[in-house]
């Protein structure tokens, strides 16, 4: 055989070997994702212990330092540490929640905790495949690849796997972010979950709306159902509902006209109405009740003037002049603990942002214009502390099926996400901000 042909054959064999090695790696990464998805961590009875065991086994393979913290008994938070060469630099925290929302299994085409792959479409079907076991395992898979490449971060990278996000996070990221433990980590930047995007670009979030769960009560003199008089509880409540309805319509119009995005308007929705005097079969029909109430789910963008909205509620929606009162069942502050809007800057004032944006680009991805997350995530707890936090899930070309039936993530999209995170973690791990700018490779 001529030398040229022999070299060609050798080259070809090498190529085949590299391709099959990377295919093996990809398959193993998919299998680990499936294993994580198969642990049933659905609320209200998540198997947190099994999830913690799984994460600890991964950490062991990667030789990451690990710790299980039970801020609340039965709700373990797993904290992993990849120590940086210079521990005095601000650290990065990669956060993900381990719980998922419940399923109506009979409405799924695939069993929601089997993590089966549809052979035709290569979609991995499971609860948590988008929200957000994908992200948790992608962080780990990205680190696995960086470790294999011999990469060592300059700054420390922490990974927190937190419980309870799907039921508000107070006993998960809430207690963690307010703990002495967290303060001692020296975290300077946080990554958390985002939302899938239908298009080619990834969605990215730098703030979120604060839930204000409000109950408005009206009271008034009770009276005979046949009597006409002013200021009954029902009449006063209905007046308020008209005012609230007009406000809601104005916000909806902004949304419909495309003037504002979902995260930029104040949403107000009635979630309960309570009035009337019950009987075993219905309600008393000849009695005007002395009390009536409405429950509202209000979502407030971080750009809104909190005081002005409070005045609006007090003066227009629940005025004492109409015998009305209001109370918050839950009210997440719009501003951070320093009184500033809880938004992470996405301009040159935030060096972390530039690092993130470039790292995604370098891995062949593109970010959309940063948005305000329309609902809530754990990121709010970190923004509350004044920390920069970005919500990002590397899922493009995929419909958003969070909390929906048949939640899935495509195999290729999952694997691409690992590359994206490897690029992000490498960038965040090897640069540091100086005077608001990023110094090049250390």
Residues engaged in binding Zn ion (CB under 5 A): 131-132, 193
Least distance to Zn ion, CB of residue 212, Å: 21
Taking the least distance from each CB to Zn ion, the nearer of 171 and 293 is 171
Taking the least distance from each CB to Zn ion, the nearer of 94 and 132 is 132
What is the C-alpha to C-alpha distance for residues 204 and 388, in angstroms, rounded to an integer? 13
Phi-psi region of 260 (alpha: psi -120 to 50; beta: other; left: phi over 0): beta
For the question of residue 235 being annotated catalytic, the response is no
Q: What is the DSSP letter of 415?
A: H
What is the C-alpha to C-alpha distance for residues 104 and 405, in angstroms, rounded to an integer? 7
For the question of residue 180 being annotated catalytic, the response is no
Q: Write the burial class of residue 50 (CB in 10 Å: 0-12 exposed, 13-18 middle, 19+ buried).
A: middle
Least distance to Zn ion, CB of residue 339, Å: 28
Catalytic residue among 164, 165, 208, 413: 165
Catalytic residue among 99, 141, 192, 208: 99
With beta carbons less than 8 A apart as the criterion, state whether 231 and 220 touch: yes
Least distance to Zn ion, CB of residue 415, Å: 21
Least distance to Zn ion, CB of residue 376, Å: 9
Structural tokens at position 343: 């938004």
* Long-range contacts from 233-238, C-beta under 8 angstroms, 24+ separation: 233/275, 233/288, 233/289, 233/290, 233/291, 233/292, 233/323, 234/275, 234/288, 234/289, 234/292, 236/292, 236/322, 236/323, 236/324, 237/275, 237/292, 237/293, 237/294, 237/324
Taking the least distance from each CB to Zn ion, the nearer of 132 and 342 is 132
Q: What are phi and psi of 329, to 5 degrees?
A: -75, -30
Q: Residue with CB nearest Zn ion?
A: 131
Secondary structure tally for the chain: helices H, strands E: 10, 21
Taking the least distance from each CB to Zn ion, the nearer of 69 and 375 is 375
Least distance to Zn ion, CB of residue 303, Å: 23
Structural tokens at position 66: 């690990």
Taking the least distance from each CB to Zn ion, the nearer of 212 and 373 is 373
Residues carrying an active site annotation: 99, 165
């Amino acid at each position: 055989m001529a030398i040229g042909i022999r070299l060609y054959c050798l080259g070809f064999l090498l190529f085949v070997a590299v391709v099959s090695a990377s295919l093996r790696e990809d398959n193993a990464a998919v299998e680990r994702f499936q294993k994580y998805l198969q642990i049933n961590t659905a609320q209200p009875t998540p198997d947190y212990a099994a999830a913690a065991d799984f994460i600890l086994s991964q950490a062991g393979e990667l030789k990451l330092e690990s710790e299980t913290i039970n801020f609340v008994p039965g709700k373990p938070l797993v904290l992993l540490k990849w120590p940086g060469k210079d521990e005095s630099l601000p650290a990065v925290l990669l956060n993900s929640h381990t719980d998922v929302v419940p399923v109506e299994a009979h409405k799924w085409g695939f069993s929601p905790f089997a993590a089966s792959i549809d052979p035709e479409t290569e979609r991995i079907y499971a609860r948590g495949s988008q929200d957000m076991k994908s992200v948790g395992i992608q962080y780990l898979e990205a680190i696995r690849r960086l470790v294999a490449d011999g990469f060592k971060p300059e700054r420390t990278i922490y990974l927190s796997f937190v419980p309870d996000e799907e039921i508000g996070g107070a006993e998960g990221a809430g207690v963690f972010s307010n703990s002495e433990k967290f303060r001692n980590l020296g975290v300077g930047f946080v990554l958390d979950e985002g939302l899938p995007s239908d298009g080619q670009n990834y969605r990215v979030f730098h703030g979120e709306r604060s839930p204000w769960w409000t109950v408005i009560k009206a009271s008034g003199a009770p009276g005979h159902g046949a009597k006409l008089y002013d200021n009954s509880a029902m009449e006063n409540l209905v007046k308020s509902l008209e005012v609230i309805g007009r406000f809601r319509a104005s916000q909806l119009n902004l949304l419909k006209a495309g003037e504002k995005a979902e995260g930029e308007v104040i949403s107000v929705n009635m979630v309960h109405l309570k009035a009337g005097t019950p009987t075993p079969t219905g309600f008393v029909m000849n009695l005007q009740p002395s009390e009536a109430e409405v429950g509202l789910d209000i979502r407030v963008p971080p750009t809104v003037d909190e005081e002005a909205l409070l005045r609006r509620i007090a003066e227009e929606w629940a005025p004492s002049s109409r015998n009305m009162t209001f109370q918050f069942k839950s009210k997440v502050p719009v501003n951070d603990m320093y009184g500033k809007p809880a938004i992470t800057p996405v301009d040159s004032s935030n060096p972390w942002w530039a690092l993130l944006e470039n790292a995604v680009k370098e891995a062949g991805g593109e970010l959309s214009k940063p948005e305000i997350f329309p609902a809530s995530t754990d990121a709010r707890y970190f923004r509350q502390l004044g920390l920069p936090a970005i919500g990002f899930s590397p899922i493009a070309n995929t419909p958003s099926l969070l909390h929906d039936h048949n939640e899935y993530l495509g195999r290729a999209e999952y694997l691409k996400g690992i590359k994206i995170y490897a690029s992000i973690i490498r960038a965040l791990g090897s640069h540091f901000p100086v005077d608001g700018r990023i110094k090049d490779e250390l």
